Structure 1
Amino acid sequence: MNRLAEIFSEQGELITHDGTYQNELETIKVIRVLPVHKRQRFNRLSTQLLEDLEQPQDRQKCAERSRSLREEGNRVYKTKSSKNNADQAECLLSACRLYTQAVLEAETAFDELCLSFANRGMALQDYGYYEQAYDDCVCALEFGYPKKLQHKLIMRQAHCAWKLGDAKKLGEHLACLEQLQLNPSYCQKLEELQQQLKMLQGSQKAESTQELQKLTGDTHKISMDSSTRGRYMIATKRLSEGDIIFTEQADCFVPIEQRLICQKCAASLLCAPIPCPQCHQRVVYCSRRCRDLHKYIHSYECAAYRKDLLIMLGVSHLAMRLLLTYLPDWLPQLRSASNAQELWHRLMQMAATDANCSPAPQSLQSMGMLTHLDKLPPAELAYHSLCANLLQVYLFKCTHFYDQLSSSGSTASLEDWHLIVAALILRSAGQLLVNAHVGNAISLCSLPANEFPLLQPALWQGPHHLRRGCLHKFAQSTLQTAINLPYLSLCNHACAPSIHTRFDGCVVSNFATRPIEAGEEIYNCYTLDYRNSMCAQRRQQLESIYKFTCCCDKCLRVQPDQDYLKFHRYRCERTQCGKSFVPNQSSLSWWLQPDGNGGICCSACQTPQLTTWYDQFLALLEHCHESEARRNLYKAFDNLNNWLLDYHSLKLSLANELIVACFAVKEDGVTLDDLDYGQLARIIDFQLAGTAAQYGINSLEYMTKLTHLFDLIAWGKHKCSVPQLKTMRAALNNLPSETKVIFVNYYNDFIEQLCKFD
């Protein structure tokens, strides 16, 4: 990152802008029309940076690390025969985890890579992850698994195909095995699978599948009013709270901070990640299918990941991915253009395509998104211009991206294409600054970046079935993706949005948060909403990033912060006063400031608050492993009612710390009694009610807090009523599909059957 800053600083000194902004093409031209000596220096700096960032692989060391991990996995796997069923499951996952690390460490040491895939496939099959085990067998063969041993993998593929109910694949593998000379043991397995094939063919029914449309829902339309606000979205019929408005499947996203999620579908819960061997463990996929579907895009990004270039460039990475994804669709319409100006003019004509009546292709929606590059400070515009130029140089020097341009039929010169490629990346970066979204997901707490939730042996009793009392391990919501959603971007901003967005990988669904009348505009929220931020804070962010002043109903009220401030109301500690108050804005979250303890004053009598109750609570929290301290801690929490009113933000924070601490000491072997569990249930109920008030019952924040209550019920330490049970079960529908299956399984395994109703 420092090297990039140095290069950009030197390059920035070589270029000058005259202060007027025309468009992205003219901005990039400023770089291209430098005097010869300056341009040569500028280009050498870009080339030198790309060379400096190269990180060569040491294949021998990769092989040694991979072999060591695989052999340790073998040792663990062999112990399964002496285990009972529960310990066998843990043993198999432990082996899978080691084999996965071996797969990641192998990189281009293909002799080791294929063996690691083969062994992981064996363990995955035994555990019950048949689809992933099948993929691993194919990967092992793909990377050169020894021919004399290939019958083992084909037999595993046949077994997995049977378990998956795939008669076609099962038949193909059995036909292959029938041509081989097998020992008696394998012959017996072959005969058994042949019988299974007959049964499968007899019972299998043809099923039709319908591919997910990229955009669904007919309860809305987009209207255009170029004289006032541009495009916006309105409802064509009345919508009830909870109705789905539309679903959008994104063509383009990138993992935030290079998280190890599937680069094609954004799945974050992986049990058998398949890496690109060239990328130093930075790119993985959830399946071979996703890897193959993403092959075209990754062929142009692989070298950049190997250089660790993309993490330095922020939004420009997603901008480049938009170019990689959409340019092939645009090229046929650019054949008649003979120079950069004509290419740009044609592209801007395409960007102006009217998507008012029916949604245009996502490529055109994206190219037509709003941008505020013309309003950026000169330094920021220069930074994004340098990023775009660097990525264009990278695509030209480090990939075969330009091959498709030379064969596109256009007579434009190479220099013209340099301009267009950089200008398109800059344009997309400017659009994404104000239109990109951030996708979130529930994740496993405190898990290292190179570990995978589904491979943690202590958590699972079977595929996607947690052990009793382990759901609270998923009490964390993290940002996973920067994602391009041009259709959702058509919704204007309001601090009280009328939609709730659920991210399910790269599929995004939007639900009505309240009744919406026919003809009413549909609003999204670009910032923290009115319940979780001050009006001035939102306005500053909206004006800085989105270049407008919010005039929604919540901001135009006489007291625009009343909903937020009700989570920050205190009662004065001074007996003679005792009035409720809200401290000044700079002190609202004083406990999060390094030197903020006790830094609030009563706004009625100006008396500084001692907040000894806060210090006492934290002191007791440190001794949570002691029974007497926990008793006093519950009392101290109740005592907070004297000073922190309603669902005070600090009280909710302390409730969470108390709950997490009690669960942690239980995990460490401390025995909690019925009084502990009763107090915990009461405090969790308070936390859930406060979270619902602040974020809504549909939020991931609510779902992460619900995990602790589910575990209390699973332990048989809490009972709930029928209405409560129905509410909790319905809340699971707000989860992304990969997380929902885990939560629903947990509910079915432990919750419903243990709840006794009066």
Structure 2
Amino acid sequence: MASSSSSARVNNKATSSAPPAAAAASFSSAPVPSLGDLIGHQLRQLKLEELHYTDELQFIQILTPVKRQKLNREADGDVQKDGCNGGGDTVVALAPLSRPEYGGEEDDDLIGAVGGFSVSSPTSTPATTTTKEPLLDFRTHVLKWFQNLRHQTGHFKSEEESRRLREAGNDSYRKEKHPLKASDLFTEAIFLAPARNTLAAALAHANRSLVLYDCGLYAESYDDCLCSLDLGFPEEYLPLIKLRQAACALKLRNFTLCEEHLHELLHIELNQVFETRTHELWHQCEVLKVERFEMAVQTGDDLETNDMKAFEIAWLDNSSSLHSTRALARNSLIFESEAVAMVPSGNCRVCDCCGITQFIPFPCIYCSNRLVVYCSRQCRFKHAAIHAVECFGHQIELFESFGEVFGMPRLLQLALRLLITGLPEMLAHCRKKPTLSKLWSCINGALLERQDIGYSSVLRLERLEEEHSSETLISLALAAHILAIYLSKCTTFFDQLEKSLPSASRMSSAEWELLCAALLMRHISQLRHRSLTHCRSFVLPTDPHVFSPLNEFQLWAAPMRLQEGHLHLLAGEVAVVAYAVYPETLSLCRHSCSSTICSKFSGRKLTALALLDLPAGSGIYNCFASGNYQQLRQGERSKELEEHGIKCYCSACQLSHTDDQFYKFHRYRCDNPKCMEIFTPHALPHAPNLRWWLSEEYTQPEYNGAELIVCPHCDQAQKLEWFWSFNTSLIDCELIEERCKLYAAIERAESQLMELHECKVALARLLLEQCLMVHRALAFALMSFVSPSLRIGLLFSISLPFLFLFSCVQILLLLSLSLCVCIIFLSGRLIAVCAF
């Protein structure tokens, strides 16, 4: 759970104080203000103490420049014929933005009246701007900002660089005989291909399809062929692609599709080679159709199933929570659910639809940042309705630009995705002619209680309630307003909303904009409370999005088969790969620092298991802080939870010594021979949560642990020389003398790190990775001085993965081995493992 300080942090540049008159004059003279300038200018014009509102819609109405008397169908500026409104100001009819790659010269198409309201020119803004309509120029400057972003994108795309990578991939495939390296090169060629000329991307997709076919990835190869045809693959080479499509369909046992492509080939003039190959495929297809037989498939009727729901929603103090409906044993399944909305975190390539990692990416060719990728064309098709609204935002890198002011721009994108996926569904249930006020009342009334509308469960989520209007709250409201302007002028989303209503019902663009801004503000408040879920997954360090011409390409011998001696490269980290919302399960759990569930993520799917035996009717609790009572101290947890509007009174926080469980993992014995007392350091300046071995301030050689940890009994700084000796000896542990030093360092660490110290797990990980890197060919000679009883156990734990080195279960074996080593460490047997 990200704190509100990180999810809604406003830069000082945006909130710096300045005289209103001077600020307005200087702001209006700026040609293209930044987002921080936009928000900072509005904050200086507002008086926080005068803002009084009852709900999000009223709050947005206070901040928006829309005149209430013009909230009708006739006031829509998109359909005004002449160039003047009631005030005599010129009104420019605007159309939704098109893709910048094909739009031609459209520098000024974003400047003018929006929604049919008079918009003053920024150069004519008086210096004595009042706060009655503080956002009068805001819309104009937002549109200018959009236009400026539009001309700044596409900087990293290069047709020449894409061609160079494509040629390098061809050389790697034909000369080096390394298909997987060629596949990575073709993938990067796709990412660097410009959208203005899609031929470069078409050729890269076609080349990659051949490599993937040779690697046995037939479904991905077929998708590449389709992408190549969609992007304008040269017609003279069409038989090549059609022949490969037929071969992929045959390998996938889709005989109907194979015959369809073969029929297409028979109607094309082919040379002798292609004609021979076509008849060969036709013959193979006929043979396989004859040999086809039905296989018995387990239907699940003979499996023991229990359809009884393990939880129910209970209501307490006008808020909902989860309770168990029956007794649940430890490690049993409590619930499984899929996220209603999810956005990738940007730490690695994640499919924007299903959320999986490590796949052959299919990017949207029109997004300039190429952050939107899919694992298949099927996922891209499923996600098309959402991406159609967000695509232009990715073209101008809108969501990344929010990072200038807000510490977590993905939160804003997730709020937008909640809106565009849920609001059309809810409007389909509106039968009467709505107005803005009636529709808002209905959303907060009858429609809110509907159990058959998925969006209603999102609207019922708890929100972060703030007692007064703060600069952070107003900044987020302005961000919601910017997103609503984006939906109005850069997408056709409002047209989709109109189609969801009865034909006799219409609302103006201004009314839709107010409604969407209010709902966005609500979703932002919900995500700042506790509805935002960090989806953690195992990410390999050789993630293909980190393009490098080093030895990373040598990792695989074949698909799912590692090169010998490279198993250690799979020792990745567990990182946050996506942010998601689970409104009917995880978000309804009550908070407790001692959670009763363990959450596991697989793409969009969440699985919650019981951490202990739960009797029937007991509450289901989840820790919404970034760490539980064993991972964070009580003061840090309380501060983080208060930022989310959560006050915790759980049993872990009510203990007299609330941090004992945390300190149990950070206990040291003083290395001063005259002291030897056991202590726990209470704070380290550059090491959050006392994990000094993760901080560069302490692990760099020049620091050497000086004044790192001080014993409170004798005031002596701990030398920690065993840590530096361990790191030095670990690099060359294939040498006997270095292994002896490593053994001695671990022995000294055992005497200072008490019980279940967290540093032991860190050392175990380093040791495991280095052992797997050194022991490439079952180097039994390295165990020459290990006793026979220890040698058997070590030989099993070290050599077992290499017996299955060319199997597809390397990652599972690695995790098992890591767990074994960590258990040995935690039980005080580190010496036995390292004495190889």
TM-score tier by shorter-chain length is 0.7 to 0.9
What is residue 718 of structure 2 aligned with on the other side? 609
Look up the equivalent residue of 1:551 and give its one-letter code. Y
Residue 105 of structure 1: CA displacement? Answer: 1.4
Look up the equivalent residue of 1:651 and give its one-letter code. K
Structure 2: state its 5+ residue gaps: 1-10, 14-33, 67-130, 300-305, 403-408, 699-704, 820-836
Seen in structure 2, the aligned counterparts of structure 1 residues 27 and 253 have a Cα distance that, compared at 3 Å, is same
Seen in structure 2, the aligned counterparts of structure 1 residues 274 and 709 have a Cα distance that, compared at 3 Å, is farther
What is residue 649 of structure 1 aligned with on the other side? 758
Looking at structure 1, the residues matched to 780 and 635 of structure 2 have their Cα atoms a distance apart, in angstroms, of 46
More helix by share: 1
> SS of 1:187's equivalent?
helix
Larger radius of gyration: 2
> SS of 2:647's equivalent?
coil
Please list the CA deviations of residues 610-657 of structure 1 after superposition, one character each: whole Å capped at 9, or x if unmatched.
Answer: 434444445545665754233202210121111111221233333434
1:481 is aligned, of 558, 566, 578, to 578
Looking at structure 1, the residues matched to 341 and 785 of structure 2 have their Cα atoms a distance apart, in angstroms, of 46
Q: Is 2:519 the partner of 1:424?
A: yes
1:442–1:474: 8 Å Cα contact kept in structure 2?
A: no
What is residue 509 of structure 2 aligned with on the other side? 414
Looking at structure 1, the residues matched to 372 and 643 of structure 2 have their Cα atoms a distance apart, in angstroms, of 34
Looking at structure 1, the residues matched to 45 and 165 of structure 2 have their Cα atoms a distance apart, in angstroms, of 50
Please list the CA deviations of residues 539-581 of structure 1 after superposition, one character each: whole Å capped at 9, or x if unmatched.
Answer: 2211221x23222222222332222211111112233432322
Looking at structure 2, the residues matched to 305 and 589 of structure 1 have their Cα atoms a distance apart, in angstroms, of 37
What is residue 442 of structure 1 aligned with on the other side? 538
What is residue 55 of structure 2 aligned with on the other side? 23
Residue 174 of structure 1: CA displacement? Answer: 2.2
2:345 is aligned, of 246, 256, 259, to 256
What is residue 83 of structure 2 aligned with on the other side? none
Deviates more, 1:603-612 or 1:308-317: 603-612
2:535–2:579: 8 Å Cα contact kept in structure 1?
A: yes
What is residue 54 of structure 1 aligned with on the other side? 150
Looking at structure 2, the residues matched to 483 and 494 of structure 1 have their Cα atoms a distance apart, in angstroms, of 20
Look up the equivalent residue of 1:403 and give its one-letter code. D
Seen in structure 2, the aligned counterparts of structure 1 residues 590 and 468 have a Cα distance that, compared at 3 Å, is closer
1:470 is aligned, of 566, 569, 587, to 566
Q: Is 2:283 the partner of 1:223?
A: no
1:95 is aligned, of 172, 182, 186, to 182
1:265–1:506: 8 Å Cα contact kept in structure 2?
A: yes
Looking at structure 2, the residues matched to 364 and 92 of structure 1 have their Cα atoms a distance apart, in angstroms, of 49
2:45 is aligned, of 14, 17, 20, to 14
Looking at structure 2, the residues matched to 78 and 730 of structure 1 have their Cα atoms a distance apart, in angstroms, of 34
Q: 1:333-372 to 2 correspondence within 5 Å?
A: 333-334=429-430, 336=432, 338-350=434-446, 352-353=448-449, 360-372=452-464
> SS of 1:511's equivalent?
strand
Look up the equivalent residue of 1:646 and give its one-letter code. E
What is residue 271 of structure 2 aligned with on the other side? 183
Looking at structure 1, the residues matched to 562 and 635 of structure 2 have their Cα atoms a distance apart, in angstroms, of 44
Looking at structure 2, the residues matched to 244 and 682 of structure 1 have their Cα atoms a distance apart, in angstroms, of 38
Look up the equivalent residue of 1:573 and give its one-letter code. D
Seen in structure 2, the aligned counterparts of structure 1 residues 633 and 206 have a Cα distance that, compared at 3 Å, is closer
2:363–2:371: 8 Å Cα contact kept in structure 1?
A: no
What is residue 681 of structure 2 aligned with on the other side? 583
Please list the CA deviations of residues 479-515 of structure 1 after superposition, one character each: whole Å capped at 9, or x if unmatched.
Answer: 1101111121111112222211111111111112222
Seen in structure 2, the aligned counterparts of structure 1 residues 61 and 103 have a Cα distance that, compared at 3 Å, is closer
What is residue 675 of structure 1 aligned with on the other side? 783
1:4 is aligned, of 27, 32, 35, to 35
Q: 1:258-407 to 2 correspondence within 5 Å?
A: 259-311=348-400, 312=402, 313-334=409-430, 336=432, 338-350=434-446, 352-353=448-449, 360-375=452-467, 378-407=470-499
> SS of 1:248's equivalent?
strand
Please list the CA deviations of residues 126-169 of structure 1 after superposition, one character each: whole Å capped at 9, or x if unmatched.
Answer: 11111100001111111122223211111111111111122221
Deviates more, 1:626-635 or 1:163-172: 626-635
Looking at structure 2, the residues matched to 677 and 264 of structure 1 have their Cα atoms a distance apart, in angstroms, of 54
2:538–2:574: 8 Å Cα contact kept in structure 1?
A: yes
Looking at structure 2, the residues matched to 376 and 633 of structure 1 have their Cα atoms a distance apart, in angstroms, of 59
Looking at structure 2, the residues matched to 351 and 41 of structure 1 have their Cα atoms a distance apart, in angstroms, of 35
Seen in structure 2, the aligned counterparts of structure 1 residues 403 and 466 have a Cα distance that, compared at 3 Å, is same
1:640 is aligned, of 738, 749, 757, to 749
Look up the equivalent residue of 1:445 and give its one-letter code. P
Residue 385 of structure 1: CA displacement? Answer: 0.4
Looking at structure 2, the residues matched to 449 and 148 of structure 1 have their Cα atoms a distance apart, in angstroms, of 33
What is residue 104 of structure 2 aligned with on the other side? none
Q: How many residue pairs are counted as aligned between the two chains? A: 683
Seen in structure 2, the aligned counterparts of structure 1 residues 467 and 614 have a Cα distance that, compared at 3 Å, is closer
Seen in structure 2, the aligned counterparts of structure 1 residues 682 and 273 have a Cα distance that, compared at 3 Å, is farther
Seen in structure 2, the aligned counterparts of structure 1 residues 381 and 208 have a Cα distance that, compared at 3 Å, is farther
TM-score (norm 2): 0.74
Look up the equivalent residue of 2:520 and give its one-letter code. I
Look up the equivalent residue of 1:508 and give its one-letter code. L
2:778–2:799: 8 Å Cα contact kept in structure 1?
A: no
Looking at structure 2, the residues matched to 612 and 566 of structure 1 have their Cα atoms a distance apart, in angstroms, of 22
Look up the equivalent residue of 1:412 and give its one-letter code. M
1:594 is aligned, of 665, 675, 697, to 697
> SS of 1:715's equivalent?
helix
Residue 664 of structure 1: CA displacement? Answer: 5.9
TM-score (norm 1): 0.81
Seen in structure 2, the aligned counterparts of structure 1 residues 49 and 611 have a Cα distance that, compared at 3 Å, is same
Q: 1:728-747 to 2 correspondence within 5 Å?
A: none
Identity, % of aligned pairs?
27
1:107–1:278: 8 Å Cα contact kept in structure 2?
A: no
Q: 1:14-163 to 2 correspondence within 5 Å?
A: 14-17=45-48, 18-33=50-65, 38-55=134-151, 62-79=158-175, 88=177, 91-108=178-195, 109-163=197-251
Please list the CA deviations of residues 721-747 of structure 1 after superposition, one character each: whole Å capped at 9, or x if unmatched.
Answer: xxxx9x977978x99xxxxxxxxxxxx
> SS of 2:497's equivalent?
helix
Please list the CA deviations of residues 296-337 of structure 1 after superposition, one character each: whole Å capped at 9, or x if unmatched.
Answer: 111111111111111223311100011111111012234535
1:132–1:272: 8 Å Cα contact kept in structure 2?
A: no
1:316–1:426: 8 Å Cα contact kept in structure 2?
A: no
Looking at structure 2, the residues matched to 644 and 342 of structure 1 have their Cα atoms a distance apart, in angstroms, of 65
In angstroms, what is the RMSD of aligned CA positions?
3.7
Looking at structure 2, the residues matched to 111 and 376 of structure 1 have their Cα atoms a distance apart, in angstroms, of 55
Deviates more, 1:644-653 or 1:148-157: 644-653
Seen in structure 2, the aligned counterparts of structure 1 residues 425 and 394 have a Cα distance that, compared at 3 Å, is same
Looking at structure 1, the residues matched to 490 and 370 of structure 2 have their Cα atoms a distance apart, in angstroms, of 19
2:425–2:453: 8 Å Cα contact kept in structure 1?
A: no
What is residue 698 of structure 1 aligned with on the other side? none
What is residue 510 of structure 1 aligned with on the other side? 608
Look up the equivalent residue of 1:9 and give its one-letter code. G
1:494 is aligned, of 586, 592, 599, to 592
Look up the equivalent residue of 2:757 and give its one-letter code. H
Please list the CA deviations of residues 196-254 of structure 1 after superposition, one character each: whole Å capped at 9, or x if unmatched.
Answer: 323433415389999xxxxx9743233332436x2111121222222222111113111
2:669–2:754: 8 Å Cα contact kept in structure 1?
A: yes
